[in-house]
Structure 1
C-alpha cells in the first residue's frame, strides 16, 4: 500500500475508524466520476475530497504514516495535477488571493525548485543546489491585497528517496530562514500537513505548508502583505 506522510514529529492525531475510511473512499470515487471531462475548477474541487484520505505517517522524516489508499492525492484518475484554487489558500479572507501569471514589478526572484522558499527574496538563506535532481514541476502564483504573495508548487521526483531528501533539504532551508513548526488547522491535520511559520528579514510573516506522498511533494507559501518594494 502507498504511504501518505506527515512531516511533523510527535503530533497526536486521532485516526478515523474503518467504516469512516471506506465511506470517504466511496465519496471520493463518486466525485472523481463527476469531474471526469469537467473544467479545471471542478478538478480542484475534487482535490478537496482526496485530501480527506490523508492520514499520518512513520519514518525519520515523516514520523507518522498510515497506509490507506494507493491513489495519488495530488492527481486525478485522468492525470490532472490538482493545484489549489485561490480561495483555498490560507489567509484568503484577509488577502483575497487571485491567480496571476506574472508577479508585480520589483518582486524578487521566484523559483519552482526546492528547497528554495520565501517569495520576493524573503528567504535568501534558502538555495537551489547545483545538482538539482530530475523533476517535473507544477506551480501557480497568487497576488493579494497589501502586496501579499502566495505560491503553490507540486513537484514529482523520480523516486520516493529523492523526494524524501528534498523535503529534508527544504526543512533545513526553512530553519535557516528562521521559520519554526507551527500549529495546523483542523483541515491541515486531516490532510497530513506540516506547517512552518516565522518572520522574515523585512518583518513580514512567511507561512509554508508541506505534504509528501511517495515521490510527490506539495508546498504552499504565503507571504503576508506590506511592506512593498
Structure 2
C-alpha cells in the first residue's frame, strides 16, 4: 500500500497530531449540539408567545397589554359586552344587567356610588366609550367599560391616572395585573382589572360589602 507522500507525487504532507485531530472533532460536535439547543429554544419561545399577554410598551404594573393581533375587545367590528356570568364573583353575587343605572364616567373615575373620586387633571376624554353596569346581591355593583382613545399615549395616560386614583382610594396594585382592596371610609371592597390594546382600554370593576 502506497504511503501518503507517494500518492502526492513527492509533495510532503504533515499530518496533524492525533490529539489535535480529536480536539477538532470534539469542537465540531459541540457546535452541532449547540445549534440544536438554540433551535429548540427558539421554537419554545415562539410557542409561549402565542395567545399570551405581553407588555411591549411601558405602563402601570396593574394593567395588562394584549399582544399584537385583532382587537380582543371586539368581534366582527362590534364591541363585546360581558355577560353577568363572566364577571368576577358571579356565584356569590349573582350579577344582573342594570340598564337603568348606567354610569358612563370616563377614566380616571373609578368605582360606583362615589366610592372613589378620581381627579381628571388633564386626561383627555376617549373618542368613544361603551359602558354596561350590573347590580348584584345586597349593595353589590359592577361596571364594564371599553374606551377608545385618540392614540396609545392618551390611553396610557388614562390608565396611569386610573392607577393613581385607585391608589388614593386605598386599593393595592397587584404585580400580575389589577387592583383590589377596601375603599377609604366606605366599608366596601373594590376589585378592578385593566387591559389595554393599543389605544383601547377595558376596565372591569366589581364592588361589594364584604361579609361581616
Scaled by the length of structure 2, the TM-score of the pair is: 0.69
Change (3 A) 1:66 1:165: closer
Gaps of 5+ in 2: 1-43
Superposition deviation, residue 20 in structure 1 = 6.8
**Kept after mapping to 2: 8 A contact 1:148/1:226:** no
Alignment of 1:122 with 2:115, yes or no, is yes
Give me the whole-angstrom Cα distance separating, in 1, the residues matched to 2:148 and 2:193.
Answer: 17
**Kept after mapping to 1: 8 A contact 2:189/2:210:** no
Give me the whole-angstrom Cα distance separating, in 2, the residues matched to 1:225 and 1:110.
Answer: 19
**Kept after mapping to 2: 8 A contact 1:145/1:225:** no
Give me the whole-angstrom Cα distance separating, in 2, the residues matched to 1:131 and 1:68.
Answer: 25
Aligned residues: 166
Give me the whole-angstrom Cα distance separating, in 2, the residues matched to 1:148 and 1:66.
Answer: 28
Superposition deviation, residue 59 in structure 1 = 3.3
Superposition deviation, residue 183 in structure 1 = 7.0
2:201 paired residue number: 217
Change (3 A) 1:123 1:65: closer
| Structural RMSD (CA) | 2.8
Alignment of 1:110 with 2:98, yes or no, is no
92-101 or 175-184: bigger deviation: 175-184
Deviations for 1:184-214, whole angstroms, at most 9, x for unmatched residues?
6xxxxxxxxx210111122110111100110
Superposition deviation, residue 128 in structure 1 = 3.4
Gaps of 5+ in 1: 1-15, 23-52, 104-108, 185-193
Alignment of 1:18 with 2:46, yes or no, is yes
Superposition deviation, residue 110 in structure 1 = 3.5
Q: 1:1-229, aligned counterparts within 5 Å?
A: 18-19=46-47, 53-61=51-59, 68-76=67-75, 78-103=76-101, 110-124=103-117, 126-129=118-121, 132-182=124-174, 194-200=177-183, 201-225=185-209
Give me the whole-angstrom Cα distance separating, in 2, the residues matched to 1:129 and 1:173.
Answer: 11
Superposition deviation, residue 121 in structure 1 = 0.7
Give me the whole-angstrom Cα distance separating, in 1, the residues matched to 2:175 and 2:87.
Answer: 16
Deviations for 1:9-40, whole angstroms, at most 9, x for unmatched residues?
xxxxxxx8535766xxxxxxxxxxxxxxxxxx
**Kept after mapping to 2: 8 A contact 1:178/1:198:** yes
Change (3 A) 1:65 1:173: closer
85-94 or 62-71: bigger deviation: 62-71
Scaled by the length of structure 1, the TM-score of the pair is: 0.64
Larger radius of gyration: 2
**Kept after mapping to 2: 8 A contact 1:181/1:195:** yes
- Which protein has greater RCO, CA pairs closer than 8 Å, 6+ apart? 1
Give me the whole-angstrom Cα distance separating, in 1, the residues matched to 2:80 and 2:130.
Answer: 9
Give me the whole-angstrom Cα distance separating, in 2, the residues matched to 1:59 and 1:204.
Answer: 33
